[in-house]
Amino acid sequence: MNIERLSRLSSPGETTSPRPPTTFQDFLDQNGLPRLKSRRAVSS
């Protein structure tokens, strides 16, 4: 079972906050570099 399916199984009353950006994403943002799409999405 993947994470997307697990997240859909959580009770509807719960609100999930988005994950904070990773250190690498912070680096890209601070230097004005575009964030690339996930490798999984690009490779398929």
Phi, psi of 2 (to 5 degrees): -95, 170
pLDDT computed for residue 29 by the predictor: 94
Q: Check: CB of residue 43 under 8 Å from CB of residue 37.
A: no
Q: State which residues of the chain have pLDDT below 50.
A: none
| Cβ proximity of 33 and 43 under 8 Å | no
Residue 30 confidence (pLDDT): 95
- Please report the pLDDT score of residue 18 as a whole number: 82
Task: Give the pLDDT of residue 17.
Answer: 73
